[in-house]
Every structure is written in structure tokens, then in C-alpha cells.
Amino acid sequence: MKLAIIPGDGIGKEVIPQGLRVLAHLARKYNFSYTTTDYPFGAEHYLETGITLPDSALKEIAAHDAILFGAVGADPRGSAKIPQGLIEQDILLRMRFELDQYINLRPTRLLPGVPTPLANQGVGFDFTIVRENTEGLYCGQGGFLYKDTPHEVANQIEVTTRRGVERVIRYAFDYAIQFNRKKVTLVAKTNVLRFAHNLWMRAFEEIKKDYPAIATDYHHVDACTMYMVTRPAAYDVIVTTNMFGDIITDLGAAIQGGMGMAASGNINPTRQTASMFEPVHGSAPDIAGKGFANPIATFLSVAMMLEFLNQKPAAASLNSAIAKLVLDKSNHPRDLGGTATTSQVTDATLNLL
């Protein structure tokens, strides 16, 4: 296995090394091998060099089997020197788009022992959000007219293609079959977005006929946000658009214990280019360098990566260890209400593997 390692900025540089410790342990235990190539890209690298992500580096990264990614974001020491959104657009979104990582996969599971805003409801849940990852409002289509005048006009155009929609919906159904899920719910806004989301609905209605064993449902996105809070166990697999997926996956992170528990995969199912696995907490510059960032989302991302790379026993072992880890409050880092440091959480995880 050839892995590209991009720690990025802030706490990305703290949690990715811990994820690599866990990966090395699993490789020894389950007798698989891998090589790593480190890449320095992020806000700090941009401030030092003026470079975000060169074409040559992207080509190299694409040739790996997978990417383990930390976080990128504006460096507080030089945020005024970095155009808004430049780092995210030129590094993270560029890899998603140009490597055709058209699936953003977000497991949303409440592990026993993890504090949640839903605790008083006594509910558990385990669902997966399949977010379209290379179209929609994030394509950068649009522009300004009469910018910085009283008559300014801004256009942001949603890009929705039959091919893009169909492949994401079909992936969601195939995922349900593979992981013994019972229902796929389409989340969109068909009553208002009557063109783009009509295409989503028509494609969904056609494709579901190929999967008669899987139940289906449809929710408007605003209803979905309510149901995720009031009855999250109603969901099994959600398939949705790029922007709506961005929103509801962060709501999913909040109810599963916070961003420190949220893993993700940016998947190219064809495997023609590298898929990318990342914790979604961002660079968190306010806590960077203090030693108490939660590495669990990184470990869960490593487990997703191992599953994707067909190291299933190792992935299962890591997921099991994390489930045991969080049962003991002494292993909880600060975002879960505990005092365990980043390295202490890692040590406890290694002891459980």
C-alpha cells in the first residue's frame, strides 16, 4: 500500500502522527506493509512559499492508494495574507474534484459512553451519510457584476448532472447492500429547487427499482435536520447533495459527540486515483500545540481507510478498540468532557488493540 500523508495545519500535525502510530501497530499485528510519502501543503506552507498545491505534487498524490489527510485552514499568524478560502479551495477541494473523489462518506454513529446533546432522550443511532462530493454549489461556477457598487450582483450556480447524480445514488444503494443496511433516504429540497432536485428525485425513483430489497424514503433537508435531532434512529443510509451533505454531516458530528468523533472518506470508487480519508474537525488553531486535540476521529478515518484498502480484520480491530476506549471516561479528551491528552488517548487505544 502506498499512502500519501498530508498533516496540514494546526491540530492536523498533532493527530495524524498519532494515527500513524496506530497504523504501524496494526500493520505489525495483521502482517501487512505500506509505504508513506509526506507532503507539507497547507496554510503554513503557503505563507512560507506562496505555493498551495503544485500540479506535479497532485499527480504524485493521485498515484497513491490512499491519502491520510489532517486539516488545512488559515494560519492565525498570517490570516490577513491568505485570501479567504484559498487554502481549502486550492488543496482540499482541488483534490476532491481533480481526483474525482465523488463520494463523501460520513459514518454517523453514537458510541456507548460518548456524551451527546441527545443523551436525555435515551436514543442510539448508527447511520451513514453519502454526500455528493464534486458537483452542486461547490463547483465555483458564478461571478460578480458591478462588484463593490450599490448595484452589485453575485451569482453562484448549482451544477447538477445526470451522470453525477446517478453514480452517487447507485453508490448509496450498493453501500446498503454491502453493509446490510435496510433503507436509503434521499434528502433534497424538491418543492423549491424544482429543476436540479427534480433530477435527483427522478434518478432516485428510477435507480431504486434495481434494489427491491432496500426500503426507500424521501425527506426535505429541513425536515431531515429536525429528525436527526428528534429521531435519528429513523435513518440508515442518507444520500444527498454536496451542500446539504456538508450541513447535515456536521449536525451528525454534533449528535455523535462532536467533531473530534467524526471521520470521513472522500472516495473514488473506481480506484483510478487515490481516495482521501480525514477527520473533519478542521485545523482548530485555538487549541493547536496544547496537546489535548481528540485523535479519535483520525483513528476512525484510519479504520475507514483500511476497510477501503481491503485490510478488513485490521479495520474491525481498530473500530472495536475505539468502542471499548470511550466506555472508560478516563480515556476521554477535553472535547468529551475528560482530561486525557492526545498521546494518552493514543496509548490507551494501542493497549486495546
Residues recognised as catalytic: 138, 189, 222, 246, 250
Say which amino acid occupies 115: P
Q: Are 67 and 274 in contact, with CB atoms under 8 Å apart? A: yes
31: Cβ contacts below 8 Å, ≥ 6 apart: none
Secondary structure E strands in the chain: 2-8, 35-38, 66-71, 103-109, 126-132, 142-145, 153-156, 183-188, 215-220, 237-240, 263-267, 275-279
What is the 3-state secondary structure of 191-257? CCCCCHHHHHHHHHHHHHHHCCCCEEEEEEHHHHHHHHHHCHHHCCEEEECHHHHHHHHHHHHHHCC
Tallying the residues shown for the chain, one arrives at 353
The three three-digit cell numbers of residue 343, written as one number: 498521546
Other C-beta atoms closer than 10 Å to the C-beta of 79 total: 13
Residue 88 to residues 96, 133, 188, Cα–Cα distance (Å): 11, 14, 25
Single out the residue of 42, 96, 97, 95 nearest to residue 73, CA to CA. Answer: 42
Other C-beta atoms closer than 10 Å to the C-beta of 46 total: 24
Cα–Cα distance, 282 to 271 (Å, whole number): 26
Bridge partners (DSSP) of residue 106 are 129
The three three-digit cell numbers of residue 19, written as one number: 494515527
The three three-digit cell numbers of residue 94, written as one number: 482541488
